[in-house]
Amino acid sequence: MASRESRAVIRGSAHRRRRSKERPPNLNDVTPLRIVLLGKNVSENSGVGNFILGRAAFDSEAPADVVERVGGRLKDRHVMIINSPQLLQTNISDDQITQTVRECVNLSDPGPHVIVLLLKHDQCSTEDQECVEKVLLSFSERVYQHTMVISTQEPTETNDILQKIIQKCANRHFSLHKSSSPNDLLQTFEDIVKVNDGQHLECAGSQYLTMEKHATERLSEGLKLNLAVCGSDGTLKSSTSDLILQQTDRRSDVELHGRQISLVELPALFNTHLSEEEVMCQALHCVSLCHPGVHVFLLIIPNAPLNNEVKAEMEEIQRIFSSRINKHIMILIMQNSEHQTELNEETQSVIESFGGRHHFFGPKTQVSTLMEKIEQMLEENRGEFFSTETFLKAQMNKLEKMKKKINTLETYSLSQGNEQKIILSLKLQSYKN
């Protein structure tokens, strides 16, 4: 399908719905258990995050400076993991600590229930202890009430520094080994929540985030909002675009949240007759149309069990744009009536894998309600967008991974017999192509 660009200029009131900071004392299936995962390297953090969620949710070769939020289920609990794989590195600067902590607080809004420290017995020094204390106190003075330690190796001997950190965390420690169960870890999380009467951590950075949000709101009054509509079904995408534009009467003087809106449709990426290079060009072209970048990707799915085509398209979107797109995704579930049907487990799981943001949308849905959710998204992302630079960085990361695979195969092939060398050379050629 050729790319179709639709644009509407929309101006109007600055009224916004405020999210309540109040939360009920008891967590339930509606309120996710928010866990901040702090560590030293991507591979270790990704492994623990995937262990908790029971699936490959985090990429072990993702950029270390990206703080990522992924949702899922642990037993019957809705869990949201905010993964920061570099915050406990001893060489991190104070500015990086401040910025990354704010990002963690922002993504766990209104605050985390549990903070997890990933530490190793043989890599825990006095310098590490100082770093841990500096990072944790950047969250809150009461942070230790919500903090626990996970160690990812069997100790050969007792590490006194690690024991001191564990003691400050009220002796909450989970040793992760091959026979460990996520359900056992869940019990530790629930114990922390119970001790704190179900309340999340009130973070010191929240006041700064509130100021930043107000600043973002003031700046956004006349700011153009770039939306990209994507999904496998061209008809659904077109009808969604039309619904948004029809409800604004396609007039430049219509008022809606003080926004000038640019709406662009992304062609289906999976199961097309286009080559890989052409698909990449289509994706890059879509992003480049939205200068300086896409604020929100509206991913359209039907209000029905997901078929293979829809699932494949969603996987292709994440493959091409990388996990960096997740913080900019809003899933729109198309419905034919005002009644919102209950989502099945598979659909709910897919939505959570994209960050959990979703909205029911149909012929009788008011665009203003969708805009309110988008405004909340912009506040969470502090006005950030997915730019062509972001897209190209994601592709460069893929190339680096491919180079590593090629180098590994080339090294391995040198030690193999002639038959194996032929097979490996063919594999290498396919990678290089």
* 300-348 per-position pLDDT tens digit: 988 888 888 888 898 888 888 888 888 899 999 887 766 666 778 888 8
Looking at the predicted structure, is the pLDDT value of residue 248 above 80?
no
The encoded tokens of residue 429 equal 């050629």
Distance of CA 208 to the CA centre of its chain: 22
Res 252: pLDDT: 34
Long-range contacts of 205-210 (CB under 8 A, 24+ apart): 205/98, 205/101, 205/102, 205/105, 205/138, 205/139, 206/105, 206/110, 206/111, 208/102, 209/102, 209/105, 209/106, 209/109
Mean pLDDT across the chain? 77
Tokens of 182: 């996520």
pLDDT reported for residue 422: 55
Higher pLDDT, 47 or 417: 47
**C-alpha span between 350 and 364 (Å, rounded):** 25
Closest by alpha carbon to 152, among 43, 66, 75? 43
Whether the pLDDT of residue 247 is over 90: the answer is: no
Q: What is the pLDDT of residue 149?
A: 94
Q: Where are the domains of the chain?
A: 5-14+210-386, 33-199, 397-432
Give tens-digit pLDDT for 391-415.
888 888 777 777 776 676 666 656 6
Average pLDDT of the segment spanning 225-254: 72
Architecture of 5-14+210-386 per CATH? Answer: 3-Layer(aba) Sandwich (3.40)
Provide the strand spans (E) within 241-340. 260-265, 296-302, 329-334
pLDDT above 50 for 2: no
Contacts of residues 134-138 at CB distance under 8 Å and 24 or more positions apart, as own/partner, are: 134/94, 134/97, 135/38, 135/87, 135/88, 135/97, 135/101, 138/97, 138/98, 138/101, 138/204, 138/205
Joined together, the tokens standing for residue 134 give: 């500096």
Quickly state the pLDDT bin for 219 (edges 50, 70, 90): very low
Fold match between domain 5-14+210-386 and domain 33-199 = yes
Q: Is the pLDDT of residue 55 over 90?
A: no
pLDDT at 45: 92
Helix pair angle (276-288, 308-321), 10° resolution:
70
Give residue-wise pLDDT tens across range 134-154.
999 999 989 999 999 998 877
Q: What pLDDT score was predicted for residue 246?
A: 64
* pLDDT score, position 148: 95
Q: Decide if pLDDT at 430 tops 70.
A: no
Asked if the model's pLDDT at residue 122 lies above 50, the reply is: yes
Could you give the CA distance from residue 73 to residue 54 in angstroms, rounded to a whole number?
8
Q: Which residues of 339-358 are buried (b: 16+ CB within 10 A; e: fewer)?
A: eeeebeeebbbbbbbbbbbb
Bigger pLDDT: 188 or 214? Answer: 188
CATH number of 33-199: 3.40.50.300
Write down the pLDDT at residue 71: 83
Q: Percent of the chain having pLDDT more than 70?
A: 76
Greater pLDDT, 13 or 416: 416
- Answer whether residue 132 shows pLDDT above 90: yes
Q: How far apart are CA 357 and CA 327, in angstroms?
A: 9
Q: Which residue has the tokens 């967008």?
A: 385
Q: Is 212 exposed, middle or buried (0-12, 13-18, 19+ CB in 10 A)?
A: middle
Which tens digit of pLDDT belongs to each residue from 174-196?
988 877 888 889 989 999 999 99
Looking at residue 427, its pLDDT comes to 54
Instruction: Determine the pLDDT at residue 250.
Output: 39
The neighbour count for residue 29, using CB atoms within 10 Å, is 9
Are the C-beta atoms of 237 and 274 separated by less than 8 Å?
no
Cβ 262 vs Cβ 225: under 8 Å? yes
Plot region of 197 (φ>0 → left; ψ -120 to 50 → alpha; else → beta): left
